Amino acid sequence: MPELPEVETIKEHLRELVVGSLITQVEVLDPGLVEQPSTEEFERELEGDWISGARRRAKHLIVELDSGNFLVFQLKIGGQLLLVPPVEEPKTALMLVLHLDGDRRLFLRDETRFTRARLLNAEELEARLSTLGPEPLEDEFKNNGVKYLQEILSSRRAQIKPLLLDQKVVSGIGNIYVDEILYDARLHPRRKANTLSSEEWGRLHAAITENLAAGVEHRGTTVRLYKDVLNRPGEHQNYLRVFEKQGKPCPGCEGEVIREKVGGRPTHFCPSCQLEEWREGEQELTLG
C-alpha cells in the first residue's frame, strides 16, 4: 500500500518527467475511479490543461494544473502511475489514461480497483486536506515533534499503533512503516499512549523520522503491488526487520517475530524487545 515514502517517490518522478506536459486527451476506463466531479466533467476539464507541478500531502498525490485546479489521487492499496514511453504499455487493470504531448501517456492501473481521483479547485483541496496531521519529514515536526506527540497523545488511553495510523495525528504513516517504527522505538503496538515515558516519546519520534526518511531514500517498499513511475519496485523491503517477518528470528535478540491483529490490522513485532506490560521503573531493553 503506497504510504508516505512511496507517494513521495512517485511525486518526484512526476516533477522530473511529467511537469510541463500538455494533457491532450483523457480516458476514464473505470468510472468508479472518479469521485469528484462527474466523469464527463473530469475528462472535459482536464483535456487541454497543462501540468504545472506535483506535490504530496500525507498519502495524497496532488498534480497541479495551469487552470488552477488540482488532480488528486489516493492510490490506496495497489495504484500505479506508469509513464509510456519509456515504460512498456500496460494491458490489464487500467483505470485512467492521460495522453500527453510528445506522444506520451500516463497510465493509472490498479489490480484492486480501490484508487480514487478527484479534480478540485483550491478551496476544495484546502478543505480536503484540512484535517490531516503534520508532515513527519518537515522541519517543524523534526524540531518539535517530541513535544507535539506528547501534547496530543500522552493523555490518551488508546493503543499506540492505531493512534499512529490516524492521519489526523501524523500524516502519511501506514501499516508497513508503523510496525518498523514501533520496533525501533521498542514499543509494543498495544501499549497505551498514556503509559509512555518522556524517553520513549523521544525514541518514537526518532523512529518515525528515521524510518520514513529511509523509505524515501530507498524509493519506497514493494511488498506486493507498488511500482514507481518507471515500473520499478522499491528497495526498502530489503531493509524491513519485522513487517511480514513472522516466524523469523528477531534481528535484535534471540526471540521470534510474531504476527497478531492490533486495531484490526495485521501487526508484526518482537514480544521480547517490545514488551506489552509496562511498569514504572522497568529496566530498559537495548536492541543489538
219 catalytic? Reply is no
How far apart (Å, rounded) are the C-alpha atoms in residues 77 and 82?
Answer: 16
Decide if 265 is catalytic. Answer: yes
Q: Are 161 and 189 in contact (CB under 8 A)?
A: yes
Q: Which residue of the set 11, 59, 118, 245 is catalytic?
A: 59
Question: Quick check: helix, strand or coil at residue 70?
Answer: strand
Cβ of 242: how many Cβ atoms within 10 Å?
24
160/155 Cα distance (integer angstroms):
12
In which element (H, E) is residue 95 found? strand 94-100
What is the C-alpha to C-alpha distance for residues 98 and 140, in angstroms, rounded to an integer? 36
> Which distant-in-sequence residues (6+ apart) come within 8 Å of 255 by Cβ?
249, 270, 271, 272, 273
Q: What does the alpha-carbon distance between residue 285 and residue 288 come to, in Å, rounded to a whole number?
A: 10
Cis status of the peptide bond prior to 85, with omega within 30 of 0: yes
The residues with which 116 forms a beta bridge, in sequence order, are 74
Active-site residue (options: 210, 235, 265, 271): 265
Q: Is 59 tagged catalytic?
A: yes
168: left (phi over 0), alpha (psi -120 to 50) or beta: alpha
The reply to whether 279 belongs to the active site is no
**H/E/C letters for each residue in 20-56?**
CCEEEEEEECCHHHEEECCHHHHHHHHCCCEEEEEEE
Q: Which residues are catalytic?
A: 2-3, 59, 265
